Structure 1
Amino acid sequence: MIARLNGTVVDIGLSHLIVDVNGVGYLVACTAHEIKKAEIDKPIVLFIETIIREDAFLLYGFATKIEQDWFQLLTNKVQGVGAKSAIAMLSTLSLSELATAIQNEDVKAISRTPGVGPKVAQRVIAELKGKLPAGDFTTNGTPASPPVGLIASEAIQSLVGLGFDKSKAEKAIRAAVDELGDAADIASLIRIGLARAN
């Protein structure tokens, strides 16, 4: 079972990346966000969800563990949502948008996903409301403030994925949040966090 890949992007497709790891090329289905960020000949670290079928051995890649947790929730808990639909949903909505839509029972927002109609969107809400991944929300159901908020959590997971100690990554991202304030976004947090963690 493949759980994580650390390699170099050698090809970028419409819905996949090919990641070279020590001379072996792995075809990994990814969200549109990940594909957009990828660059040929640049290093990449992906958390991998492996799905084995009779006719295929499929890899799905995620920049953060939180994204992978969401993929697992969607595919394992919601009837009618397979891997393809889950990737489409995570490509259409950011994690914070999806979490907010579930909390607010916003069927229309989830239905923006190609191939996901109102009935499936309603099932997503019914099955996942109150079961969101740990760290996404405070106990009263409202978005938490950084550094425990969703964006900061993603940034921390990204640094951990790059090999940094978790406590060091948390300290670096906390400092980045303090520096950026309301202007904090995932790319800026990771950039400043990397500088602080080194």
Structure 2
Amino acid sequence: MDMEQGGDDGRIRTGNVWTATAHVITALVGSGVLTLPWSVAQLGWILGPFALVFFAFVTYYTAILLSDCYRSPDSNSGRRNYKYMDVIKEFRGEKDVIICGITQYAILWGTMVGYTITGAMSMMAIELSDCFHEKGHAAKCEVSGTLYAVIFGIMEIVLSQLPNLEKISFLSYIAAAMSVAYSFIGLCLCLVEFSSHPELRG
């Protein structure tokens, strides 16, 4: 059911269960899931699952904290905090706003750089794969990631200028579908690797 009526603050909200689910899947599942089997394999059968459960608990706990901070001082009927800085100002005071703001933007910049590098490396891998497929694995295929990084960075800058980007729900649907695809690819790769080792099947 759409929540189109205005709330206690007069704002019109059009989100529903499906848009919320798409946003959550997009936020939690990304391309990093492709390296999850390798990471668990490095940790082993004891530490690997333990790490998964531990970080799942951390994610759940921080999500609960953020939900409780949305309204203050009462979590059910208090004033809404629309921004992260509003939460910091309400719970930590003005003195911590600058420190937390610098930390927040440093993390955002680090994430942006990480995605730019990862995107460039992914496009390089595709080009290398095409080159080896056409010329053979013995061919010298050299690819520069600088151009791809610049293209990806320009795309990020252009998209960041769009007004109300967070309200374009179809982007979250596409991203959620990509997240499911990442998970499916990882699962298929694990099954292929498992089937290639008969000794593991007993």
Q: TM-score, normalised by structure 1?
A: 0.26
Higher helix share: 2
Greater RCO (CA < 8 Å, at least 6 residues apart): 2
Higher strand share: 1
